[in-house]
C-alpha cells in the first residue's frame, strides 16, 4: 500500500467526498469542510472513522481541529497535511 503524499491526498479527498453532505464538483486543498461541505461534529467523527479504516491508524482529529484554529479553518489541505504527519509519526 503506497503512502506517497499524492496517494494520501487522493484517499483523503475520496473519504471527504463520501462523508460530505454536499455534492461538490471539485474538492481542492482550499475546500473548507464546514463552510463549503457542511461538515458538523457527526461528519467529523465519520471522517475520523473513514481515515482510520483507510490507513489502519488512529487519527486524533480534535488535535487537527485545534491546530487548524477551530471549526472555521478546517480545509482539505490542512487535513491532508495532518494525515501525512500522523502516518509518518505513527509508522509501524
Cα gap 14→17, rounded to integer Å = 5
Give the predicted TM-score (pTM) of the model.
0.86
| pLDDT tens digit sequence for 38-86 | 999 899 999 999 999 999 999 988 888 887 776 668 999 999 999 999 9
| pLDDT tens digit sequence for 21-45 | 787 778 999 999 999 999 998 999 9
| 70 Ramachandran zone, left/alpha/beta (phi>0; psi -120 to 50) | left
User: Alpha-carbon torsion 13, 15, 19, 25, what sign?
Assistant: positive
Cα gap 89→86, rounded to integer Å = 5
Set out the domains of the chain in order of their start, with CATH numbers: 5-89 (1.10.1200.10)
Amino acid at each position: 500500500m503506497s503512502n506517497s503524499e499524492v496517494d494520501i491526498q487522493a484517499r483523503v479527498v475520496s473519504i471527504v467526498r463520501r462523508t460530505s453532505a454536499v455534492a461538490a464538483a471539485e474538492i481542492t486543498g482550499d475546500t473548507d469542510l464546514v463552510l463549503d461541505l457542511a461538515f458538523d461534529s457527526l461528519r467529523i467523527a465519520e471522517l475520523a472513522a473513514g481515515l482510520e479504516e483507510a490507513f489502519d491508524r488512529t487519527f486524533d482529529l480534535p488535535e487537527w481541529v485545534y491546530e487548524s484554529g477551530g471549526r472555521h479553518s478546517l480545509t482539505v489541505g490542512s487535513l491532508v497535511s495532518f494525515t501525512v504527519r500522523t502516518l509518518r509519526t505513527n509508522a509501524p
